[in-house]
């Protein structure tokens, strides 16, 4: 068991306890980005600890970097060793950092004084479609409940390859996308700003181990290839997507922005929160089958912030996913597609069985047949300019709490496009 108490005062409801220690990349005024971990209301600067040889680094330096990629590439043995060393240094009964005033002043920085950056150099991005409730709801709207799930959905984790360059850190504003849409009653598409801009409540997992081209990852060891998890909002322009997705799938309706939280929670921190996964019927093919399927009990929330008022509109849970991340990874690589350290995989929208647990506005408004009420008397079908979407996630059990912080983004107006004849 790790130490249970730190010499740092940690608020009772903090996401960033000694059990957690999520990794992120931060900068302070006049200094370059480097790697730290969140502890209470502070960031522990790992580049400082690295300089004084307090961390077991195989090949260094790895923390005086603007991404986690070099550290992640050292492998799971070193992830565990560094995590244990950090927990030991922060323990209440360890004087090494606690009693060294000069070192502590350099290494512990209030989170209010830092700027966060993308935690990893994202080499590729894949987004799955793994919530049965979400897939059934969306299918029911457009094809009826009897044909809601396509024949392949219960046989494999459906996914598409997204755009890594437009993955952004929490707090980055998102410009409303423009594109082609096909309004009801028209004979040809029109061009203009999306009128049905949506969020998707997801989680992302970061790949921690590369593979060779042609090398599949067996499902029973796929967990060894995952470094940690983040909150993820895969913004979605529903009207653009609906017109373009046949026959090849999402493109401009998705590629304009994907937001992730700044702190990567290591998989080791999630171990106390393992729980049984939902049953699968039919039984998956052998390459997707595991004898002891599990998932994690992660509470997820979505809030709207409009005119200074925040309204909680969704409470879901990671455990509702039908296809687990190990199955997603096994299917992703079964063709021989190679992995790179830093690849980002999105789980797909995570919806639950109740109205309150629906993970997108398309479901909450049921294809514009009901409005979503907000504080201050406002209502919404979809996101309007100036609206902010906030997602949060945390685990709590038997006095242990870990959290992911939040991922937020504000929608800005679409850009003006000059008339073609003036170009």
**Any catalytic annotation for residue 187?**
no
Q: Could you tell me if residue 260 is left (phi over 0), alpha (psi between -120 and 50 degrees) or otherwise beta?
A: beta
Residues 343 and 359: beta-carbon distance below 8 Å: no
Degrees, nearest 5: CA angle 126-169-209: 45
Residues 344 and 164: beta-carbon distance below 8 Å: yes
Q: Which helix (H) or strand (E) holds 363?
A: helix 361-364
Q: Would you list the DSSP string of 262-309?
A: S-BEEHHHHGGGEEEPPP-SSPPPGGG--SS-EEE--EEEEEEEETTE
Go through the chain and tell me how many residues it has. Answer: 423
Residues 157 and 329: beta-carbon distance below 8 Å: no
Q: What are phi and psi of 189, to 5 degrees?
A: -70, 160
**Catalytic one among 78, 117, 134, 331?**
134
Q: How far apart are CA 7 and CA 95, in angstroms?
A: 9
DSSP 3-state assignment of 39? strand
Query: Residues with catalytic annotation?
Result: 134
């Amino acid at each position: 068991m790790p130490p249970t108490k730190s010499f740092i005062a940690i608020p009772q409801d903090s996401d960033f306890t000694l059990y957690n220690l999520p990794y992120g990349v931060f900068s302070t005024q006049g200094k370059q980005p480097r790697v730290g971990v969140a502890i209470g209301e502070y960031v522990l600067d790992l580049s400082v600890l690295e300089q004084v040889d307090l961390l077991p680094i195989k090949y260094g330096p790895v923390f005086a970097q603007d991404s986690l990629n070099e550290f992640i590439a050292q492998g799971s043995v070193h992830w565990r060793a560094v995590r244990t060393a950090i927990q030991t240094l922060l323990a209440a009964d360890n004087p090494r950092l606690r009693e060294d005033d000069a070192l502590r002043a350099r290494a512990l920085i209030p989170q209010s004084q830092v700027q966060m950056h993308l935690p990893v150099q994202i080499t590729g991005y894949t987004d799955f479609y793994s919530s049965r409730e979400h897939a059934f709801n969306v299918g029911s709207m457009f094809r009826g409940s009897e044909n809601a799930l396509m024949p392949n959905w219960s046989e494999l984790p459906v996914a598409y390859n997204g755009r890594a360059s437009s993955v952004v850190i929490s707090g980055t504003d998102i410009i409303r996308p423009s594109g082609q849409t096909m309004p009801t009653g028209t004979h040809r598409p029109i061009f203009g700003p999306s009128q049905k801009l949506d969020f998707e409540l997801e989680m992302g997992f970061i790949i921690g181990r590369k593979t060779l081209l042609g090398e599949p990852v067996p499902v029973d060891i796929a967990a060894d290839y995952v470094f940690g998890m983040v909150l993820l909002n895969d913004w979605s322009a529903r009207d653009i997507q609906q017109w373009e997705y046949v026959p090849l799938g999402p493109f401009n309706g998705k590629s304009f922005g994907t937001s992730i939280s700044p702190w990567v929670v290591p998989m080791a921190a999630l171990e106390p929160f393992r729980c049984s996964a939902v049953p699968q019927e039919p039984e998956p093919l052998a390459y997707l089958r595991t004898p002891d399927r599990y998932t994690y009990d992660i509470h997820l929330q979505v809030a709207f912030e409009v005119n200074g008022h925040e309204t909680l509109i969704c409470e879901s849970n990671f455990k509702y996913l039908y296809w687990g991340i190990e199955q997603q990874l096994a299917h992703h690589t079964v063709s021989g597609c190679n992995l790179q350290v830093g690849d980002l995989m999105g789980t797909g929208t995570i919806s639950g069985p109740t109205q309150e647990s629906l993970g997108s506005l398309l479901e909450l408004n049921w294809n514009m047949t009901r409005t979503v009420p907000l504080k201050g008397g406002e209502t919404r079908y979809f996101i309007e300019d100036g609206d902010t979407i906030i997602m949060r996630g945390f685990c709590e059990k038997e006095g242990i709490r870990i959290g992911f912080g939040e991922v937020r983004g504000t929608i800005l107006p679409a850009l003006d496009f000059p008339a073609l004849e003036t170009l």
